[in-house]
A = this chain, B = another copy of it.
Amino acid sequence: MKKYDTLVKNAAGRTVPEEINGRKHVPFQGVGKHRPQGRKHAPLIPTSLDYPADGNKTVASLREALEKAGLQDGMTISTHHHLRNGDLVSNEIFKHASEMGVKNLVWFPSAAFPCNAPVIDYLEDGTLNRIEGSMNGPLGKYCSEGRMTGTAVLRSHGGRYQAIQDGEIKVDIAVIATPTADPFGNGNAVDGPSACGVLGYSLADYQYADKVIVVTDNLVDFPCIPMQIEGNFVDYVVVVDKIGIPEKIVSGTTRITNSPDRLLIAQLTSQFCLETGILKDRGCFQFGAGGTSLAIGHDFHQILKEKNWKARFAFGGSTQYMVDMIRDDVMDYILDAQAFDLEAVRSVRENPNHYPVSIFHAYDFHSKGNYTTMMDIVILGATEVDINFNGNVVTHSDGYLLHGIGGWQNCLHAKCTILPIPLFRDRIPVIKDEVTTLCGPGELIDVIVTERGIAVNPRRQDLLDRLKHTGLPIKTIEELKNEAEKICGKPEKPVLDDEIVAAIKWVDGTVIDAVRKVNP
């Protein structure tokens, strides 16, 4: 059903299609090699004549808004994932589309969650042709087994902005779940029963889409302040009972790991950062919301406090641990495109030093610079790495596509990229001869920290030099791999079908790898 006549070997040695879903794409040219051509996507010029003079853009229902927006076959519909696993809006869109008999839509979410599993019904009935976005859990399994009509395209968060900005993806209708909004379409995520803090993944959607629908469960009088969504870009406002399930939108608390192995990995990572001097006064870093990352953040906090240092900023996803760093005066600012817990939501609402920014600002590679290259340290995960330091974050070693790229590829551009990962998971080694799917080239991955030792990319002789007189357990990546294989045995490579079910984009819009169908 999906034929790719012209496959080419890209600069990373991966065989990828040149045409995906009927459109040409450039194969990966190497890190920093591809230069964009042309101009940004130009939306149609609107006129105020077409919008109500009283500023009231509310319509009775999402169905009516979709109809007025001209929903029709083949359109691309975008959504954000700020409501995470509590999202009550995205599935509704395709339920209405299915009822309207619309076919062959493309869903372009900034991420999908297990709560989006019902979308499979609309892939099955032909309402949806494909999803271009992260494929988490059930959707990933569905895609991996070759059941989706079109080919999935996975992009990093920054790459998603880039694709919209550059006109690679034309969004016909953006549907923006907005925790608080006014009738003009201004909105924010700091107030309302479904408050999720920030809406930093929505900027490209509402700036570039032909039609923009704001869906809220908390309508306030104009002006809704702050305006994280700008009503001047909005066509319709829909008020519904509930846009999200609060306890699934934000976790009440995000927690540090209590696994001894993970805590050891965290401690080695923090020590590494301190001993190499990359953790320092006035520095900046990014760590995620996973249990190990939070433990590292907690360590950083203690180190800064002890040294009487003050970090300049951290880039979110934000958590209570980051908020505590501002409260304890060991950090000036949080720049934030996503809030993970209630404390972070409160902080972004109340503290002007917890500053909302968008993915454009932080991650867009086709921008006049972005924040990633300024970061001293970023802490990332991976499902696999290989002996050339290449990283995989989307597929498991059995070939199943179960995760999105998130901001992972974007963050690789930091001054020091560290992957604190266990040597094996469920007795499957994490370090391979070759990653199942290439998401990030090894030249951008600097350090692998495991519970049994730290491997530094040989390209980073500067870091190795600084480690000479430390007691840190520095090993080669091959040594780490061998250790794992001694314990778990060498895993067999999965036998995958030739059929391509998904393409993986690099931050510059080129195709870095393709994902093959799994034979279940």
Contact = CB atoms under 8 A, between A and B. Distances in A.
Interface string A215-257: 0000001110111001111110000000000000000000000
Nearest to A374: B55
Contacts of A221: 282, 312
A213 to B, nearest CB: 12
Contacts of A51: 368-369
B369 A230 contact: no
Contacts of A373: 48, 53-55
Contacts of A41: 42
Q: Is the interface of A mostly helix, strand, loop or mixed?
A: loop
A57 B184 contact: no
A47 B508 contact: yes
Copies in the complex: 2
A52 interface: yes
Contacts of A212: 368
Interface string A266-299: 0000000000000000100000000000000000
Nearest to A35: B47
Given A54-B374, A222-B312, A369-B52, A42 B39 contact: yes
Contacts of A312: 221-223
Nearest to A53: B373
A333 B37 contact: no
Interface in A42-65: 42-55, 57
A36 interface: yes
A368 B222 contact: no
A48 B365 contact: yes
A471 interface: no
Contacts of A335: 223
A142 B368 CA distance: 39
Nearest to A206: B368
B355 A223 contact: yes
Interface string A357-382: 10011001111111101100000000
A48 B312 CA distance: 22
A260 interface: no
A313 interface: yes
A93 B226 CA distance: 36
Contact of A37 (B45, B223, B352, B364): B45
Interface string A131-154: 000000000000000000000000
B55 A369 contact: yes
A368 B282 contact: no
A52 B374 CA distance: 9
B48 A184 contact: no
A366 B36 contact: no
A166 B45 contact: yes
A38 B55 CA distance: 24
B39 A367 contact: no
A48 B370 contact: yes
A293 B222 CA distance: 24
Contacts of A366: 45-48
17 contacts: A35-B47, A42-B42, A45-B165, A47-B508, A48-B366, A48-B368, A48-B373, A53-B374, A55-B371, A57-B369, A212-B368, A221-B312, A222-B374, A223-B313, A223-B333, A232-B361, A232-B369
